[in-house]
Structures are given as structure tokens and as C-alpha cells.
Amino acid sequence: MPTTTRHHFVDETATLTGRSLRHILRSPDTIITTAITPIAMLLLFVYVFGGAIETGGEKYVDYLLPGILLITIASGIAYTAYRLFTDVSGGIFERFQSMPISRSAVLWGHVLTSLVANMIALALVVLVAVAMGFRTGAGVLAWLAVTGILLLFTLTLTWLAVIPGLTAKSADSVGGFSYPLIFLPFISSAFVPTDSMPGPVRWFAEHQPVTSIVDTLRHLYAEQPVGNDIWTALAWCVGLLVVAYVLAMRAYHRKFA
């Protein structure tokens, strides 16, 4: 990409991101709503079920938080898909097509907005967890690693959200794709150790992407060696990101070619 074209792409993406962020600032309840369900789950599991779950001496809120953070992201990207669907069905994309701007800048505007909105929601959940007793001795590098993994996971799910945002036929169907993503952490190590699960369920839980990501975050917070979990987590995120990006761009070009 030539330097001038790249410069225009960055400017156009920044402008479109600003447009999407202004919509969120006018309706901050979307971020609050995104955080409410994970916070409610955090309260429920810690104060109702936490005493009955054995985590090897670790405080349950410390054990639970990584999984709740992933559920927060899964909840947030449903709004990304809905905002994109609203723009598509409202004819905004057709108007952008008539302007001399990069096609991918329109999608990146929504993607970057999703990253910002989800990071705010994640911060709210972490603050509530701290108020509930969550503590970590993680240093700056560990926190940077946690933030990087959460950003990568958000980016991956956001590009997955772009696909239904472009292709859904109704507002009701556009958010339905996020339900499996929200429930996937329940069949992982997010809420209970996988040792307690029956054979086939345990095998699935230990080999699906959420478990490696949750275990990596948990080890980083606890200042423990992450082992191979971090490489498995990164491989899942990067692999799914590449597939989601290719499919999303294909759906975009097919719809607005």
C-alpha cells in the first residue's frame, strides 16, 4: 500500500471510528448492559455457588474472574454485530460506497469501536471483582500480557461478529450468534476444574479454546508459569482471527461489490 494511500486509510478509519464512538457516548447504557450480565454471574457464582466448588485453596473470585472476562467480551460483540447490521440495513454503507474512501475503513471503524467499548466493559467487571476481594500480585509485564490476550480475543470475536452483522436478515437473528460464545466458557475450566467432569465432556473442555485462554490468564494473575497454555491460546486466537477476517471480507465484498 503506497504511503499516501496508507495515510488516507488511517485518517478515514480514525474518522469512522470516531463516528461509531460518538454513538456509544450518546448511549452509554450499551456498555453498562454489556457488563451487567457478567457482573451478575460473578456475584451469583462467588456468593451462592463458590463455597461448594473446590479450587485447590485459591479464592473462588480469583479462579472465576478470567472466565467472566471472556463472557464479557462475548456479550459485548453482540452489540458490535447489531450496530453493523443497523448501518447496513439503514443504507449507510451504500452512502459510503459513493464516497472516495477505503472500503475496509468502514469495517475497521466498527472493529476499533468494539475494542474500545469492550475494554471499558472489562474494566468495570475487574473493578467489581476487586470490590469482591479479587487480588493479584501480577506485575506490569503480566498485566500487559493479560491485556494483550484480551485485546486479541476481542479482535477475534469482533471479526466473527462482522459476518452476521453483514449477512443477517433481521435484528433478532443478528444477536443470536453470540449465545454459543457466551455459553462456551461453561464447558471449560472457567467455572470448575475439568478434573470433575465426565470423560467426553472433560476431553472437549480441555481441548476447546476457552480453557487455554482462561488458564493462561489465571496463571498470569497468580504469577505462575503459563507453560504451553499461552501458545495454545495464541494459536487458537490467531487462527480463528485469520479465518474470521477472510470470511468477513468475503461477505463484505459479496454484499457491496
3-state class (DSSP) for residue 53: coil
Q: Closest by alpha carbon to 190, among 75, 41, 57?
A: 41
Mean pLDDT is lowest, of 13-22, 203-212, 248-257, for 13-22
Q: How far apart, in whole angstroms, are the C-alpha atoms of residue 62 and residue 233?
A: 20
Mean pLDDT is lowest, of 4-8, 39-43, 112-116, 215-219, for 4-8
Which has the higher per-residue pLDDT, 256 or 182? 182
Q: How far apart, in whole angstroms, are the C-alpha atoms of residue 80 and residue 35?
A: 14
Q: How far apart, in whole angstroms, are the C-alpha atoms of residue 204 and residue 69?
A: 21
3-state class (DSSP) for residue 148: helix
pLDDT given at position 54: 76
Inform me whether the pLDDT recorded for 63 exceeds 80: yes
At 114, is the pLDDT very low, low, confident or very high (cuts 50, 70, 90)? Answer: confident
Please give the angle made by the CA atoms of 207, 208 and 211, to the nearest 5 degrees. Answer: 90
Q: Are 39 and 72 in contact (CB under 8 A)?
A: no
pTM: 0.88
Phi, psi dihedral angles at 81 (to 5 degrees)? -60, -40
Q: How far apart, in whole angstroms, are the C-alpha atoms of residue 234 and residue 85?
A: 29
Structural domain that includes position 20:
3-256
pLDDT given at position 4: 45
Mean pLDDT of 148-157: 95
Phi, psi dihedral angles at 127 (to 5 degrees)? -60, -40
Domain count, the chain: 1
CA 23 remoteness from chain centre = 20
Strand intervals (E) in the chain? none
Inform me whether the pLDDT recorded for 7 exceeds 70: no
Q: For CA atoms 156, 160, 165, 170, give the dihedral sign.
A: negative
Mean pLDDT of 1-5: 48
